[in-house]
Structures are given as C-alpha cells and as structure tokens.
Structure 1
C-alpha cells in the first residue's frame, strides 16, 4: 500500500506586527489545537475544519502522521520555533521514507531569516524525498506563493472561500489531486499577479471575488486555484498567485491565463469597504438591530494586537445605547476582574498596550460574568474545535450602554461563542462589534446582513499605500489606490 507522510505547520506572518511568534504559541494553541504529534492526530483532527483533517479523512492510503501545529497570526516566527518544527517534520520524512508527502501549510509565514518560509520548508522536504516522490501541499487563500513553491511541488490546492469555511474540503481536494499524481505526473502552470489587494476586498461574500472563485469549478482542468495574497507582509513575493494542473500543458496554461485576465479586468471593483469608526458607529445606530461592526485593522487573525481601543471609544463617544464588543485582548484586566469576582465594580485601564495604535481606555466597570475561556466553537469556520483563551471577563462600562469582553489570549472573533462564553447572545443587542476582518461573516450572517467595516488604527492597515514597504517587488500595484511600487 502507498504510504503517505502528512504534517501541518500553519502561520500567517504580519511583518509589521509589534511582537514575535514564539515556539510556545505553537505548543499551547488557542482558537486552533495545540501542537499534536503522531497517532494522536487521528483523534485531534477528526471532524475539524482544518486541511489536514480533510486530507486524512479523504485519503485511502496508509498515513504516516507526523505533527500539526498553528499559531494565531502575528509577527515574525522566531528561528528556534521554525527550526524545531521543520526539523522534526523533515527528519521524520527522511526516517520513514514515504511513497508520497502531503503538507498543510499557510503560505504567508516569514522568519527573520526567510522571507519565504514555506519555500524553505518545501525545499528541505524535496531534498529529503528526492525528485520523483509525489508531493502535494494545501495553502490558505491568503498565501504569498512564489515560483519555488510551484517548481518544487507536484500539486497545490488552496481555500476557495473567504470566510474560510472550506479548509477541510481543500485538504480533501489535495488527497484527490495526489491520487491523480500517483497515476502519473500532471503538467503545471503558475503565475504571479502584480496587484495587491486589502484583505477586506478579497472576501468571496462580495463581488468580484465571489464570481472569480465560483468560476474555478467550471474550468476544464484537473485542478486550478488562486492565492489572493496576504498584504501586511514586506517580502518580494507578496500578492496573488495562480496554479493549475492537467495532463494537457496547454489546458493548464490556458486556465492560468483566463484566471489572471478575470482578476485584472475586475481590478477597480475590489473594495475595502471601510468607513471611519465614529461615523460608522453613528450609521449603525440608525439601522435595524442587530448591526455587526468589524474592526479589521485590529484583526488578530491578520496579526493585529487585538487590544486597540478605537472602536470602543467610538461607541462611547456616540453614546451607543446597547453595544457589545468581543474579544479584546487584555490579560491584565481579565485577571483583575477574576480577582475582584462577579458583581464587583472596579477601575480598569482596558487595552491600548501598543501606543502606536491606541491608548488604554480608563473606566469603572461592573464585572458581570467570568469564564475560564475554554468552550466549544459552533460556527462554520471553527466549529468542532475547542477554544483555550484563558480567563475571560464580561465588563459593563458603568454609565454607558457598552459592554466589552476581555480575554487572555489573542483570537479573532469569527464565532458567536466568543460572546456566549460570558452569557451574551449577539442577536439580542443593537450593535455587535467583533475583532475580525472577514471570517466573522460565516457565523454572524446567520443573525443579520447589516454588516459594517470600521476604520480604526491597528497593525493590519487596509489602505495599503500607508504601509512602509521596503522589500516588495517593483511594479506591483497597491489595490485601487493608484500607487505602483
């Protein structure tokens, strides 16, 4: 029987984020499972919306499970973390000599040494298995994927939805692509597109990405996929890339050309959908409840600190009568609330640890509910996974209609359970604020289609021309800003 080695190492690196990503963050988990090794992967991955889970469920061959780990998006992955995890993956592959390899990677990992960390991982694996062993990889829709990634792999699949509800499905497609490769090689085609788009413009809930991605299923090739790129990464290979595979090289190339043309033709239609925080909140107050306001520039899922107070201040300044916000990263305030106990009134200084984005918000609050931060997700993206976010507290800001949920580990709010963990039912409130970019829509569209995107300072700027790029390649256009590097 064919023996397939499988592993996953996921990180989306925001090179502008003000903190590193350490080995400990991969070991401990948060919204995703902690570092898991060997046979334990069979139980850990079962039923989760994770590419490795989908691959393992769809694969009909003998599996050699190595490890899976992921960390919340953040700053550069530290070298010791990278070397420890990659070293273990490559050594196990070298020792077991599999007939094929599948990796579940993100595509936007960066270390201080490697601008293109996934290309380095892939090069090391290819060196260990030789040129003829079939090698497939799945990536996030936000991957920044280079020519070496295409050259050194035999097949690539990517998420086709944003919000990412098809992670497991993408892994399953990788398993089916591997089956084709085991019957014989496929011709490949690849192209980078010189157009960088803010993440809020990339959502497949909106045009033009909705139609561009829907068209993939109708292409007459074995496989075709698009990486839209992850903009807050100051590296040469940032931006979109397109992959196609087919026994007929001409068909694969034609598919890549067709997809490229569709993206470029729609360039002016991509819209970041941002409005300044104060008027955004004011407009939300005029709409039928509930209204969801996203804070995409402080999205922990894109490397945001998760603790900025811009949206909180906009709620207070607008005298919002019934607003809830979750989840603001503030372990110190969460600890103070737990020490005081439920029902206590305390003076706190909420968030604002990174003064380049915001200042702490000082207030007297009532501690309305406490939690240990361990709960099960139920939404379409994280559903089936168990969160481990440390002490969580629900705080009502006295004298206002605003309630804020603070937690002890960064995590984007892509699931309503991040409110329910402290007894808040989102649909029952007029304004629901989430620290997220787009992923929240998968769950929150279940309760409302009134969704706004507020612009408030954070580590994930969506006006790309404001980012201090120094390494990105010449000639790439920054969205519809009119600026070309």
Structure 2
C-alpha cells in the first residue's frame, strides 16, 4: 500500500511587523488549532475547512501524520521556532519512510536566516529523502514563491479564493494532483509577475482577481494556480507567481504564459479602496446601517499588532451613536475588566501597545460582558473550528454607544462569533468595525454589503509606496 507522510507548518511573515514570532506562538491555540502531533491530527482536523483536512478526506492511501503547526501572522519567525518545527517534520518523515509527502504550508514564511523558508523546508526533506520523492504542497494565495521552491516541489496547489473559503478544497486538489504525478510524469512551468498589489485589492469577490482566478486552470493543463503574493515582506521573491502542470512541456509553458498575460493585463484594475479613518466614520454615519468599517492596516491576519486605536479614536471624535469594534488586543484591559466585574465603571487605557502606530485611548468604560474567550466559529471560513482567545471583555465607552471587545490573544476578526463571544450581535448595530483586511467578508457580507476600508497607522500599510523596501528584486512595481 502507498504510504503518504503528511505535515503542516504555516506562517505568513510581515518583515515590517515589530514583534518576532516565537515557538510559543506556534504551540498555543488561538483561532487556529494548537500544535498537533501524530494521530491526533486525524481527530483535530476532521471535517474542518483547513487544507490538511481536505487532503485527508480526499487521500486514498495510508497516511502517516507527523505534525501540524500554525501561528498568527506576525514578524520574523525565530530561527529556533523554524529549526525546531522543521526538524521534527523532517525527522518524522525520515522515520516514516513514505512513498510520498504532502505538506500544508503557507508560502510566505520568513526567518532571519531563511528569507525563502518554505524552500528551506523542502531542501531539508530532499536532503534526507532524495530528489525523486514525490512532494505535494498546498499553499496560501498570498505566498511569495521562488524559483527554488518551484524546483523542489513536485506539485503545488494554491487557494483560489480570498477570503480563503477553499482551504479544504485546495488540500483535496493536492491529493488528486499527487496521485496524478505518481501515476505518470507531469511537466511543469513557473512564472513570476512584476508588480505588487495591496491585500485590500486582492479579494476574489471583486474584479480583477475574481476573473483571474475564475480563468484557472486553463483548457490544456492538468493544473494551473496563482499566488498573488503577500506585500509586507521585504524579500526578493515578494509578489505574484504562477505554477502550471500538464502532460507536455509545451502545454505547461502555454498555460503559464496565458495566466501571466491575464495577470499583467489586469494590473491597472487593482484598487486598494482606502479611505482615511475619520472620513470612513463620517461616511458610515451618513449611511443606513449596518455599515462595516475594516481596519486593514492593523489586520493581525497580515501581521498587524491589533492594538492600534486610530479607528476607535475616529469613532469617539465623531461621537458615533452606535458602533461596535472587535477585537482590540489588550490583555491588560481584559484583565482589569475581569477584576472589576460586570457592571463596573472603570477608568482605563485601551490599546496603543505599540506607540509607533497610535497612543492608548483613555476612557471611562462600563464592563458589560466577560468571557473566557472560548467559542466555536460559525462562518464560511472557519465554521466548526474551536477558538481559545483567553479572557475577553465587552466594554462600552461611558456616555456613548461605542462598544469595544478587548481580548488576550492577537487574532483577526474573520467570524461574527468574535463579537458574539462578548454578547454583541454585530448585525444589530449601525457601524461594525473589524480588525481585518478581507477575510471578514466571507461571514459579514451575510449581514451587510457596505464596506469601507479605513486608513489608520498600523504594521500592514496598504499604500505600498509607504513601505521602506530594500530587498525587492529589480524592476518590480508597487501598485
């Protein structure tokens, strides 16, 4: 019987984020499962919308689970974390002595030692298992993928939606493509795009990404996928890349060229849709709600600190009569609220933990709801996944209709349960503010089609011309 070793190691690295990503960040549970080993992988991921779950569901071979780990996007992954987890994966694969390998990776991991971390993972596996071992990899649409990575992987599949509602589907495609590659040789081709786009312009709910991804895979290819890239990463291979697989080299090259031509033609259409925070609040107050205001530059799903106060301050300055915001990362505020108890009125500082982006907001707040931060997501991306975000508090700015959810674990708000855990039904409020860039749309579009992208300082600048790049490859453009 064919035996497949399976493992996962995911991180999206913002090289401009202020805080490193440590081994503890991979071990602890947040909105994603905690680090999981061995046969526990079968139980933890069964039925979840996560790539390794999709692979397991579609795979018809004996699987040997090694390890799965993911940390919330953030700054450089420490070399200790990378070497520890990669070493355990490589050792596990070596012990398993499989016929093939499947890896659930991201594609945008960076360490100080390895700017192309996913390629390094594959190099270490190849060093043990040899150049002919079939290795299938599923990747995030935001991967920054190098020629070296392309050469080292046998076959690759990439998410085709943003918000990423096709996690599991992408893992299942990897299982099918691996089967195809093991049955007969596949020819492959790789291309890189020459421009970067802000993440708020990349959603497949809107043009041009909607049409670009709908055009995949192409009539004559077995598989074609595109990673549009993760902009806040100062590395040479930052940006779009295309992977094509076919029965002939000619067909693979033609499919890759066609996808690249479509990408280049679409460049002028990408629009970040940014509005200054104060203007976003003004516009939202003039509309019939609910209106959603995203805070993409403090999106923890892109390495944001999730503690900036630009949008909150704009709500307070405008005396917004009915607004809710989630989730502000402020463990101290959450702890103070829990110590005070429900109904207490306390003086407090909110957010501003990274003063390079914003100052704390000083306010009197009423503690309305307290929670242990444990809940189950219900939206299209993570429905069924269990979150554990530590102590959470629902606070109301005294004398106003502004409510803030403060939490103890930095995490992107991509599900309405990030409000409900604090007793707030988001659709009942005029203005809904989320610390997210695009992923929120999968769930929140079910309650409002009206979205504004507010510009306030944060670790994920969506105006790419404001990012101090020094390592991009020559000729790449910032759109």
Relative to the length of structure 2, the TM-score reads 0.99
The correspondence of residues 238-257 of structure 1 with structure 2, limited to 5 A, is 238-257=238-257
> Which residue does the alignment assign to 1:405?
405
Which residue of structure 2 lines up, in the alignment, with residue 352 of structure 1? 352
**Quick one: distance in 2 between partners of 1:378 and 1:125?**
37
Q: C-alpha offsets along residues 226-283 of structure 1, whole Å, 9 cap, x if unaligned?
A: 0001000011110000000011111111111111111111111000010000011100
Match of 1:372 in 2: 372
Q: Provide the residue aligned with 1:115 in structure 2.
A: 115
Map Cα deviations across residues 183-207 of structure 1 (whole Å, 9 max, x no partner): 0110000011111111011110110
Q: Which residue of 2 aligns with 1:483?
A: none
Q: How is 1:231-310 mapped onto 2 (pairs within 5 angstroms)?
A: 231-310=231-310
CA distance in 2, matches of 1:399, 1:92: 58
Residue 29 of structure 1 contacts residue 70 of structure 1 at CA under 8 Å; is this kept in 2?
no
Query: Deviation at 1:423?
Result: 1.1
Contact 2:218 2:255 in 1 (8 A): no
Per the TM alignment, residue 218 of structure 1 is displaced from its structure 2 partner at its CA by: 4.5
Q: Distance in 1 between matches of 2:110 and 2:150?
A: 18
- The 2-side partners of 1:226 and 1:45 are apart by 26
Deviation at residue 153 of structure 1 after TM alignment: 1.1
Tell me how far apart the structure 2 counterparts of residues 220 and 447 of structure 1 sit (CA, whole Å). Answer: 40
1:43-74 Cα offsets, whole Å, 9 max, x none, are 00101111101001100000010010100000
Q: How does 1:127-146 map to 2 (within 5 A)?
A: 127-146=127-146
**Displacement after TM superposition at 1:383 (Å):** 1.1
Partner Cα separation in structure 2 for residue 16 and residue 132 of structure 1: 37
CA distance in 2: counterparts of 1:103 and 1:56, whole angstroms: 12
Residue 129 of structure 2 corresponds to residue 124 of structure 1: no
Secondary structure of 1:390 counterpart: coil
Stretches of structure 1 that go unaligned for 5 or more consecutive residues are: 480-485
Alignment partner of 1:65: what SS?
A: strand
- Give me the whole-angstrom Cα distance separating, in 1, the residues matched to 2:386 and 2:165: 17
8 Å CA contact 2:391–2:407 kept in 1: the answer is yes
Distance 2:302 2:219 in 1: 31
Q: Which residue of 1 aligns with 2:186?
A: 186
Post-superposition CA distance 1:194-224 (Å, at most 9, x none): 1111101111011000000001044321100
1:327 & 1:243 partners in 2: Cα distance? 36
Give 3-state SS (helix, strand or coil) of 1:427's partner. Answer: helix
Which whole-Å CA distance do the structure 2 matches of 1:217 and 1:398 have between them?
54
Matched, 1:322 2:326: no
C-alpha distance in structure 2 between counterparts of 1:89 and 1:398, whole Å: 51
Shift of 1:29: 2.0
Alignment of 1:57-76 (within 5 A): 57-76=57-76
3-state SS of paired residue (1:387): strand
CA contact 1:7–1:89 (8 Å) conserved in 2: yes
Q: Distance in 2 between matches of 1:362 and 1:26?
A: 33
Is this contact kept in 1: 2:307–2:328, CA < 8 A? yes
2:216 is paired with a residue whose SS is helix
RMSD: 0.7
**1:248 & 1:318 partners in 2: Cα distance?**
61
Q: How does 1:190-201 map to 2 (within 5 A)?
A: 190-201=190-201
For residue 366 of structure 1, report the CA deviation from its aligned partner: 0.1
**Aligned counterpart, 1:336:** 336
User: Helix, strand or coil for the counterpart of 1:306?
Assistant: coil
Q: Which 4+ runs in 1 deviate beyond 2 A?
A: 217-220
**SS of 1:272's equivalent?**
coil
Match of 1:40 in 2: 40
Match status 1:24 vs 2:17: no
What is the CA–CA distance in structure 2 between the aligned matches of 1:190 and 1:366, rounded to whole Å? 56
Equivalent residue number for residue 152 of structure 1: 152
Pairing of 1:161-240 with structure 2 (within 5 A): 161-240=161-240
Match of 2:457 in 1: 457
Q: Deviations over 1:115-145 (max 9, x none)?
A: 0100100111122211212111011000000
Structure 2 counterpart of 1:425: 425
